[in-house]
Amino acid sequence: MSDYQAPLRDILFALDTFCDLDEIAALPGFEHADRDTVAALVEEAGRFMADVVAPTNRVGDEVGARLVDGEVVTPPGFADAYGRYVDAGWGGVPFDPEYGGGGFPWAVGLVLQEILTSANMAFSMCPLLTQGAIDMLSHHGSTEQKQTYLPKMITGEWTGTMNLTEPEAGSDVGALRTRAERAEDGSYRIVGTKIFISFGAHDMAENIVHLVLARTPDAPPGTKGISCFIVPERLVGDDGSLGERNDVRVASIEHKMGINGSPTCVLSFGDDGGAIGYLIGEENAGMAYMFTMMNNARLSVGLEGLALAERAWQPTLRFAHERLQGRAPGAPRGESSPIVEHPDVRRMLLTMKAYIDAMRALLYLNAASMDRAAHHPDPDVRERSQELVDLLIPLSKAWSTDLGSVVTSLAIQVHGGMGYVEETGVAQHYRDARITSIYEGTNGIQAMDLVGRKLPMRAGGVVADHLGRMREVLDRLDGELSDAGVQLAAAIDATEAATRSVLERGAADPSDALAAASPYLRILAVTTGGWLMARQALAARDAAAGARSDDERTSLEGKVAVARFFMEQLLPEVHGLVPAATAPAAGLYAVDPSVLAP
């Protein structure tokens, strides 16, 4: 047993409210994804992940992955759980039926990914990296490459990796040095070193399909000279059988702050003359190909923030009800109160829950917009949906991963001293969450992407449409939601002014936009969260009027209360960030770095 259970009621509410499952199921190819089918699928996933995957979380942290005689050994229980995961077919649910996938919407796949990641984030890294490799090959692989690799990767029998980072080329991918030389048979010989490769080697699958960025001898410098290659751990015969080991070895695995069950490998390619690789698409197009999968990858990393926040929330709420300490206001003298009755603990719990609901709303909306952008029959809807995806991706990744650290830290705080010791388990979630704001482009890079690429879309028209969309909900915020509506209106006004400032000053001096990037991203994300929580409040209020049971009504009324808390107490953060988002870059350079030395 574990302390995690999938929050099915919250998940289905978010799917209904922010994805509109009925509309998604009406899109071409998704007719089988009706609400009842999806609900049954999510329920079964929740049972499987709680029973099979979640119990491996603690041992994964305590034992970790190990390098033994040049081979990576995963923690006890990982290989068995992964085998059962493959047998159940969970990895293929959102992928192309032509290659054995289930053909479900990406929004449904994201839900399953949330449950898996909450169950064990370190374990989930293996399917997550495989998902990215599948996405890349689906878009850019040749017919032969797809037929060779996708069926086994979609089932999970073979796993995948993405090999970008090198010792001297972190976020600056254009500085990579791994080289690829063409052989007479049309394949390539890959030589170089890659670092930070999650599940770059392990004992859970019979083959690992590495996607490797490298340079051909006559490639131009920088990102324009990067190509992408398939480098299987074991070579694949014409009949699909596995052959000899490729020239790839594990040089070491990292000793990390968290996600200890996930082997983060240093991989050496070509120590014995060159690893055999196969070019994807055309030479020098590798970075362009990578960008086609970037939105999905960044959404998935943002989801890790939500998943760990949910995993930390559940035991924290139980602890707050069970832990007796002090006397709460109004409690009988001589009796200790559950700490949930203390105002400051109640504030922390509401903050955790409000952020979790807001993250889930944002991420699910983003995934559903991806489905519309890819499958809606109306080209105008596809275009507008893709614009919304592009705008929301930096928020989904950066804000959600920042909040993952905030919420898991609050979990420790609610536990008090017991949270700081490892025995209670909540410290692991905080340690695991910290990497997420670094993955897939640090959050500073997400902010730069927002102000440099996304705000200027359609000359500012895309963000203007988004602000207008948020204003549409204001007229409905009446009655007990009136004060929340006032706060949301003020936040939208502040966000609009900050947006105008960033666009105008950035056009004159890009340094000003870059200096404003991180606080501006937070402004737009928090305001978007407030808009989504307004939608949550309205949907829950309407549904509560027709609730079929007292339990359902109580749950929906709780949704309204949590949304109000977000809009009335968390949303005003926007106003404190405006000065930082509208200040010129000169303030960052007013002090010489040498003055900061001790």
Predicted local confidence at residue 290, as pLDDT: 87
Listed residues 290, 321, 341: the one ending a domain: 290
Q: Residue 554 burial (CB < 10 Å; 0-12/13-18/19+)?
A: exposed
Q: Residue 238 burial (CB < 10 Å; 0-12/13-18/19+)?
A: exposed
CA distance 550 to 39: 21
- Whose tokens are 């690992």? That residue is 208
CA distance 192 to 209: 17
**CATH number reported for the structural domain that contains residue 370 in this entry:** 1.20.140.10
In a domain, 597, yes or no: no
In a domain, 113, yes or no: yes
In a domain, 530, yes or no: yes
The Cα-based distances of 47 to 5, 41, 53, 91, 393 in angstroms read 8, 10, 10, 16, 30
In a domain, 2, yes or no: no
Residues 153 and 254 in one domain: yes
Q: Are 120 and 54 in contact (CB under 8 A)?
A: yes
Concerning whether 166 is annotated as a catalytic residue, the answer is no
Phi, psi angles (nearest 5°) of residue 569: -120, -25
Structural tokens at position 372: 């519309």
In a domain, 595, yes or no: no
Show the domain range for 578.
443-589
Residues 486 and 531 in one domain: yes
Catalytic option among 233, 304, 440, 480: 440
**CATH number reported for the structural domain that contains residue 174 in this entry:** 2.40.110.20
In a domain, 465, yes or no: yes
Reduce the DSSP state of residue 20 to 3 states and report it: coil
Residues 261 and 320 in one domain: no
Predicted local confidence at residue 348, as pLDDT: 98
Listed residues 266, 290, 314: the one ending a domain: 290
CA-closest candidate to residue 113, choices 281, 252, 301: 301
Q: Are 290 and 228 in contact (CB under 8 A)?
A: yes
In a domain, 203, yes or no: yes
Residues 127 and 35 in one domain: yes
Residues 425 and 498 in one domain: no
Q: Residue 18 burial (CB < 10 Å; 0-12/13-18/19+)?
A: buried
Residues 204 and 303 in one domain: no
Residues 450 and 566 in one domain: yes
Listed residues 290, 311, 335: the one ending a domain: 290
CA-closest candidate to residue 246, choices 226, 219, 275, 223: 275
Angle at 122 (CA atoms; ends 52, 268), nearest 5 degrees: 130
Q: Considering its fold, how many domains does the chain have in total?
A: 3
Alpha helices per DSSP H over 250-377:
286-292, 294-322, 343-375
Structural tokens at position 241: 């059988």
Residues 302 and 276 in one domain: no
CA distance 263 to 14: 33
Tens place of pLDDT per residue across the chain (598 aa): 358 999 999 999 999 999 999 999 999 999 999 999 999 999 999 999 999 999 999 999 999 999 999 999 999 999 999 999 999 999 999 999 999 999 999 999 999 999 999 999 999 999 999 999 999 999 999 999 999 999 999 999 999 999 999 987 766 777 789 999 999 999 999 999 999 999 999 999 999 999 999 999 999 998 899 999 999 999 999 999 999 999 999 999 999 999 999 999 999 999 999 999 999 999 999 999 988 888 899 999 999 999 999 999 999 999 999 999 999 898 899 899 999 999 999 999 999 999 999 999 999 999 999 999 999 999 999 999 999 999 999 999 999 999 999 999 999 999 999 999 999 999 999 999 999 999 988 999 999 999 999 999 999 999 999 999 999 999 999 999 999 999 999 999 999 999 999 999 989 999 999 999 999 999 999 999 999 999 999 999 999 999 899 999 999 999 999 999 999 999 999 999 999 999 999 999 888 888 888 8
Residues 478 and 343 in one domain: no
DSSP, residue by residue, 86-129:
HHHTGGGTTS-GGGT-----HHHHHHHHHHHHHH-HHHHHHHHH
Residues 47 and 190 in one domain: yes
In a domain, 3, yes or no: no
Taking the CB of residue 268, how many other CB atoms lie within 10 A of it?
Answer: 17
Residues 239 and 332 in one domain: no
Residues 35 and 164 in one domain: yes
Q: Residues near 101 by Cβ (< 8 Å), separated by ≥ 6? A: 92, 93, 94, 95, 154
